[in-house]
Amino acid sequence: VGIRFQTAETADFPAIIALMNAAFRGAKGWSLETSYIDGQRTNESLLSEEIGNGAIYLLVKDDQVLQACVSVKALSPHKWYLGALTVSPALQKAGLGRQILEAAEAYVAQRGARTIEITVLNVREALIAWYDRRGYRRTGAKRPFPYGDARFGKPTRDDLEFFVFERNLGQ
């Protein structure tokens, strides 16, 4: 089954926010963040800021209902950032996440990407293993967690940071 992406419009924001908050910070899912961050994963302000900075939110809908999303952003002509990969908790573990990641990789490759960068919270071992199985390797670089910016939720530990991973397309 091919993935058909739609680009997000402002009218999609409430559904994207609900989907991401449920998948990252809700009650059901194999890769929740709730043991180290309370509260929301994103909101209108953050989404508008990201899109204003060049991020493209790609949506997968079934009969108008949002099932999954992923964001991509060109960092340079050949290097793109991928983030916000989310599958509705009810639909997880059926291969949709893998298919959406592959479709997003194809989307950016078609637009010139040779390398994809992602960032994953240092403590998310199962998710890091999942990305490793998809070819994403740690670069050694780290990025700070935005402590103090409540739009990202309320961390319950003080040692969170992001690890940077890259995948070279075509390998």
Ligand X SMILES: CC(C)(COP(=O)(O)OP(=O)(O)OC[C@H]1O[C@@H](n2cnc3c(N)ncnc32)[C@H](O)[C@@H]1OP(=O)(O)O)[C@@H](O)C(=O)NCCC(=O)NCCS
- Residue 43 interacting with ligand X (CB under 6 A): no
The residues that bridge with 69 in the sheet, in sequence order, are 59, 86
CB closer to ligand X, 77 vs 83: 83
* In the complex, minimum distance from the CB of residue 133 to ligand X, in angstroms, rounded to a whole number: 4
Site for ligand X in 127-166 (CB under 6 A): 127, 130, 133
Cα-trace Rg, the chain: 15
Q: Give the C-alpha separation, 103 to 134, whole Å.
A: 13
Check binding of 92 to ligand X (CB under 6 A).
yes
Alpha carbon distance 38, 33 (integer Å): 8
Residue among 146, 127, 147 nearest 138 (CA): 127
Residue from the set 15, 96, 109, 164 that interacts with ligand X by CB under 6 A: 96
Which residues bind to ligand X, rule: CB under 6 A?
A: 23-24, 29-31, 85-87, 92-98, 120, 126-127, 130, 133
